[in-house]
Structures are given as structure tokens and as C-alpha cells.
Structure 1
């Protein structure tokens, strides 16, 4: 599956509710060869000096552009992960977490998967491929976690 991040992604600045430090939140759309594929939210935090990102990805196999994006298809789900330091690892690592845990419970997110549900979901490998793509190609996320900007794809 060939993925592409829509260049019109949005980056907003905010302040973390738990520690009052600034953060950046990226909202982006991802297309695959068939068109619309996913929406992602990547929140890049500096919790207590630790660079980490919490990334939620909404995947739907029935994106309908004649309907509002907020109207989910019957299979829409939201996966979540934390990317950051993990004991015993030299590079940031990804850990599954509950999808969109801090977001409101609205139909937009479809079914928010728990960690256990995500581990056994048939789309989990597609989710990890999407996370890899975001980590390699979203300039804001890559700079935040690895200190290097993503390379522009020609």
C-alpha cells in the first residue's frame, strides 16, 4: 500500500493540561492508492523534558465525500500509540494505547479501540504501516522525536 500525507495538514500550538508546557498538534489526512484512507492527530509533547508523541489514527473503509467526514462508515475505528523513550531502547519506540482516549466520545472516531482490541484488530498491520509513514514523512513529528526534518518526497 502506497501512502501519502496530504500537504495541507494543520499544525496548532497548545499548552498541555497536565504540566502546562507547550506542544504542537498535527492534524493530517492520509491517502493511499484508492484515495482517502485515514485521518491522524499527532500531539508532540515535552513532558518533563521528555520528547514524546501521542498519535491517533482514524481508519475507515467507507470515506464518503458527499457526506460530512464526521459521519463514520460501519467499520470506522481509531487506534492510538505513544512514541517516545522506553527503558532499554536507544531510539524512541511505539506502544499501543487506547485510541483517542482524551477526545470526546463522538461518532466521528468510530469505535475507539482499547490496546487489547487494537492488538487483535484485522487492520493493526495497516495501522503500524501508517504510523511508520507518519514517523518518516511528517516533518513536525520527525523533528520532534528524532531532531531531523522529513525529506520532501518528489
Structure 2
């Protein structure tokens, strides 16, 4: 399976509600050979001097290629992770969290998986493949986590 980020990704910036520091956010589609593989939202923060990213990926086994956001399939789910410093690790690490936890409840997200539900979900390997692709190929996320600080 070949993954690619759709070039119509949408970067934005804002100010964190909890600490008033600037952040960058990007969302877009990750496609595979069959079309849409996932919709992702990556938020890049500088909390307490740490570079971290929170990545939510919406996955569905019945994508409506014409209207993916407004026509969810019955199995649609959202996975989430935090990527950043972890004690005892020299490089940023990924930790599962509740998907789209701070986003409003909306059919776009389907079922927001908790860490426990995500660990048991059969699509978890696909989620990690998408996250790896985002970390390597989304210029905003890659620069934030691995670029010169």
C-alpha cells in the first residue's frame, strides 16, 4: 500500500487556550491506492518549551469519495496520539490518546476511540502507518518535531 498526503492540506495557526502560546495546525487527506485512507488533524504545540504534536486520524471502511466529511460509513472511527518527548527516550515517541477528544461531537469523527478501544481495534496497524507517513511527509509536523529548534 502506497500512502500519500493530498496536496490540498490546510495549514492554520492559532493560540492555545490553556497556555496562550502560538500553535500550528494542519489537516488534510491521506490517500492510498484506492483513494481516501484517512482524514487527519495534526496540532503542533510548544507546551512548557516542549515540541509536541497531537494527531487525530479519521478512518472509515466505506469512504464516500465525493463527500467524505458528510457521509460517514457505519464503522467510522477516530484514533488519536500525542507525539513528543517521553522520559528516557532520546527522540519523540507516540502515545495513544482518545481520538479527537477536544473536538465537538460530530458525525465526521464517527466513534472517538479511547486508548483502550484503540489498542483492541483491528485498524490500529493502519492508523500507525498513517501516523508514520504524516511524521515523515507532512512538512509542518516534521519541521515542528524534528527540525532545528
RMSD, matched Cα:
1.0
Change (3 A) 1:130 1:66: closer
Check 1:118–1:12 CA distance in 2 against 1; reply closer, same or farther (3 A cut). same
Q: Which residue of 1 aligns with 2:133?
A: 133
Structure 1 gap ranges (5+):
149-154
> Cα gap change, 1:114/1:32 in structure 2, threshold over 3 Å: closer, same or farther?
same
Q: Secondary structure at the match of 2:129?
A: helix
Which residue is 1:151 aligned to? none
Instruction: Note the residue ranges of structure 2 that are not aligned, 5 or more in a row.
Output: none
CA distance 1:127–1:44, change in 2 (3 Å) = same
Q: Aligned residues, how many?
A: 148
After TM superposition, the score normalised by the length of structure 2 is 0.96
1:119 aligns with 2:119: yes
User: How far 1:137 sits from its partner (Å)?
Assistant: 0.4
1:134 is paired with a residue whose SS is helix
Moved more, 29-38 or 60-69: 60-69
